[in-house]
Amino acid sequence: MSRIGKKPVTVANGVNITVSSENVITVKGPKGELKQEIDRDIKVTVENGEVLFTRPTDQIRHRAMHGLYRALVANMVKGVTEGYTKKLELVGVGYKASNQGNMLDLSLGYSHNILFEIPKELKVATQQEKGENPKITLEGIDKQLLGQVAAKLRSLRKPEPYKGKGVKYVGEVIRRKAGKAAGK
């Protein structure tokens, strides 16, 4: 059996989980509401403040989905109670970030600024202090959406291995390369 799939998801206080007849799980909490459609083969039961997932057979497909859906629901429960945060850092001379509501204006060394619209489910904040790299903070309850938007922002100018310039996650370690060998 899947170690992750067997583990029950503990439901925190103030979180309400319902499973509809079409196998759609709805998680409501203090920060919002999330929905996830689940494969019809995976059975979901909510009892005693725990969510249990069972699979019908040991087929590879069922084993894969067993752990997947358990992890997705665990992420949803954590999202509606605590929420998720991702921080990005702009490393490079002249790199800037500012936001007007959910519209992010990035200056990443190209000939033009990049306007990036953040989905309405997420909150964005930018900060730029003297002597430090500009930082972008993304907050939301949906872990998948948050990670996807952060990865898209990072892909606008990936950190390069020679000087480390680009958009990187805060705390990300960039493997550095040595430049050209000096003349003899």
pLDDT at 23: 87
Please, what is the average pLDDT of the chain?
91
* pTM for the full predicted model: 0.88
Q: How far apart are CA 4 and CA 53, in angstroms?
A: 10
**Residue boundaries of the structural domains of the chain:** 3-81, 84-169
CB contact at 8 A, 122 and 139: yes
Closest CA to 153 of 184, 119, 178: 119
Q: Is the Cα torsion angle 66, 83, 171, 123 positive or negative in sign?
A: positive
Mean pLDDT value across residues 47-60: 90
pLDDT at 183: 57
173 pLDDT higher than 80: yes
pLDDT at 2: 65
87-116 per-position pLDDT tens digit: 999 999 999 999 999 999 999 999 999 999
Note whether 3-81 and 84-169 share their fold: yes
CB contact at 8 A, 52 and 8: yes
Closest CA to 134 of 160, 153, 161, 162: 153
**Which CATH fold would you assign to the domain 84-169?**
Outer Surface Protein A; domain 3 (3.90.930)
109-119 per-position pLDDT tens digit: 999 999 999 99
Helix intervals (H) in the chain: 3-6, 60-81, 143-155
In CATH, which superfamily holds the domain spanning 3-81?
A: Ribosomal protein L6 (3.90.930.12)
